[in-house]
């Protein structure tokens, strides 16, 4: 697939899925950028990425969550059928967003705890953690929009517009004799009269 075809497919994606793709990309980017630093007053220590340091597992889970959502969007852009998923697509993005947000909050709560890194002079969130938080929020926002569009589409698909007047029923009713329309059983005299009327109509046409 050429680059122009990919651009066209990206442009045709719904707004919700575009936001999901951007949020997932920011999650992956944030996981490989600095999250926090362990530097004391003597300027000795290290700066840790999301996937390194004591909280590396939280970074890896955040990276995996973003990669999973981006993987789904990439399949749509490439025009390939999605593999069978244990949950619906919209629910999958909700799960990855919630999981990444939980990991980010967990890492932040540990790092900013007063007993973590006692010799650290100043604790500040790194650029990677900030970007990852923005990506998680964007992923959640895109999942909400995408889920709302899916629900609206299902509602319109299930609702069938029925005609207010049944023309076939009216036509059949108009062709019945008046006694039938009134809900009465016609007498023999009325039936014979109808037959004579039909015969006379046929003879006049001949």
Predicted confidence (pLDDT) per residue in 68-87, tens digit: 999 988 888 887 777 777 77
pLDDT category, 40, cuts 50, 70, 90?
A: low
The pLDDT score that the predictor gives to residue 156 is 46
Task: Say if residues 50 and 31 touch (Cβ distance below 8 Å).
Answer: yes
When pLDDT is averaged across residues 36-50 and rounded to a whole number, the result is 76
User: What are the beta bridge partners of residue 40?
Assistant: 120
Q: If you average pLDDT over residues 179-185, what whole number do you get? A: 53
Q: How many residues does the chain have?
A: 206
pLDDT surpassing 70 at residue 121: no
Average pLDDT (173-190) is 56
Band (pLDDT 50/70/90 cuts) for residue 192 is: confident
**Residue percentage of the chain with pLDDT more than 90:** 30
- Is 70 exceeded by the pLDDT of residue 132? yes
Q: Which of 42-56, 89-103, 189-203 has the lowest mean pLDDT?
A: 189-203
* pLDDT value of residue 124: 77
For residue 99, give both structure tokens. 């999981």
| This model's pTM is above 0.75 | no
Question: How far apart are alpha carbons 98 and 100 in whole angstroms?
Answer: 6
Return the CATH architecture of domain 3-158.
Answer: Up-down Bundle (1.20)
**Where exactly are the structural domains of the chain?**
3-158, 167-205
Mean pLDDT comparison of 75-89, 146-160, 190-204, highest-scoring range: 75-89
Contact 142, 14 (CB under 8 A): no
């Amino acid at each position: 697939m050429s680059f122009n075809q990919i651009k066209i497919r990206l442009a045709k994606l719904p707004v919700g899925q575009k936001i999901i793709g951007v949020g997932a990309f920011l999650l992956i980017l944030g996981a490989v950028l600095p999250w926090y630093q362990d530097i004391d007053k003597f300027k000795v220590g290290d700066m840790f990425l999301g996937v390194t340091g004591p909280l590396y597992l939280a970074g890896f889970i955040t990276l995996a969550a973003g990669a999973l959502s981006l993987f789904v969007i990439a399949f749509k852009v490439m025009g390939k059928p999605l593999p069978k998923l244990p949950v619906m697509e919209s629910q999958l993005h909700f799960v990855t967003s919630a999981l990444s947000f939980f990991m980010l909050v967990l890492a932040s709560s540990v790092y900013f705890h007063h007993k973590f890194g006692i010799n650290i002079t100043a604790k500040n969130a790194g650029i990677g953690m900030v970007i990852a938080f923005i990506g998680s929020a964007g992923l959640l926002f895109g999942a909400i929009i995408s889920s709302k569009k899916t629900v609206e589409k299902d509602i319109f698909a299930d609702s069938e517009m029925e005609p207010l007047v049944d023309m076939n029923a009216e036509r059949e009713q108009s062709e019945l004799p008046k006694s039938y329309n009134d809900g009465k059983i016609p007498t023999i005299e009325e039936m014979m009269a109808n037959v004579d009327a039909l015969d006379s109509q046929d003879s006049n046409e001949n």
